[in-house]
Amino acid sequence: MPLMDMPLEQLREYRPEIAEPADFDEFWGGTLAAARQAGDPAEYRPVETRLRSTEVYDVRFPGWDGQPVAGWLLLPRGASGPLPAVVSYIGYSGGRGLPVEHLMWAAAGYAELVVDSRGQGHVTPDPDPVPSPQYVRGFMTRGIEDPADHYYRRLMTDCVRAVDALRAHPAVDADRIVVSGASQGGGLALATAGLCGDAVAAALVDVPFLCHFRRGADTAGAGPYPELVQYLGYHQRVAPERVFGTLNYFDGLHFAPRATAPALFSVGLMDPVCPPSTVFAAYNRYAAADREMAVWEFGDHAGGLASQSERQLHWLAARGLGGADHT
């Protein structure tokens, strides 16, 4: 049965006061500073495809610990630059896929960097620095007992470094970088907006995962949050406070107050994977005054589908972030 975990009027005001770690900024500042000192420059190799209106490049850029992260760069053929650009992050258990899956942004006149999710896609491995047999299936509990070892520290660092790489590309306007994603990708877009400051011009945050982990564990009927329930059920020696204390370093509730870019969120009120209260919890803490929530009353985890994509194009154009003309 679909879930609506609160009436809409309550959701619109839902803003839980969850204390952030005292060293949150120090943790992320040190993490990103170290990452920016490691790895080789980004590489872009042209790929021959049957896509006549889109140029495609196979990308490797340095992520966590300088490790090469795969991506696709898609450029609208014939567009005059520098181009506005979108960094696209992928949903849980997915990777960059194939270029033909990512044509909307290039068709609309944007450069797009599609970021492979380490360990989830088939191209970018995740050399776990502290291998442990204690996690359950999936990625939520990898390194769960220490934030320094947690999987999302590595993945979120990759996401920030993707912005760094794209800003340096000669075809891209570094002042018009948009971060975008749905589900896990939405949570990663939110985290990146909070960590990158004014390097991000806008954020498109659809049905985001990685927000208010404790409520997600308490209310989600499907998807990744139940991995936490399963882990805590298996490992009774581990205090819940320790698990959620680790996850507190990766929670969208704490990235949101640090984000200054305009943002368009979306939520499906029937979403059993990312319950609406978890989405509104992050949205209502988002710092930028220019923020908007698209509410899909009967949407499940797919949100607004293509209607949301169309809304994003108009929303960006209204903020001077429309795509370039091309032939």
pLDDT at residue number 1: 35
**Residue 53, CA distances (Å) to 47, 82, 105 in order:** 13, 17, 12
Question: Higher-confidence residue: 22 or 238?
Answer: 22
The span from the CA of 119 to the CA of 25, in Å, is: 26
User: Tens digit of pLDDT for each residue in 167-210?
Assistant: 999 999 999 999 999 999 999 999 999 999 999 999 999 999 99
Burial class (CB in 10 A: 0-12, 13-18, 19+), 318: exposed
The span from the CA of 93 to the CA of 254, in Å, is: 24
Full-model pTM: 0.96
Would you call 182 helix, strand, or coil by DSSP? strand
Which residues are tagged catalytic? 183, 271, 301
Burial class (CB in 10 A: 0-12, 13-18, 19+), 94: middle
User: Tens digit of pLDDT for each residue in 248-277?
Assistant: 999 999 999 999 999 999 999 999 999 999
238: pLDDT strictly greater than 90: no
Q: Which residues have a Cβ under 8 Å from the Cβ of 26 and sit 6 or more positions away?
A: none
The span from the CA of 194 to the CA of 200, in Å, is: 9
Average confidence score pLDDT of the chain: 94
The span from the CA of 169 to the CA of 85, in Å, is: 10
Output the CA torsion sign for 278, 281, 284, 285.
Answer: negative
Whether 302 contacts 274, CB under 8 Å: no
129: pLDDT strictly greater than 90: no
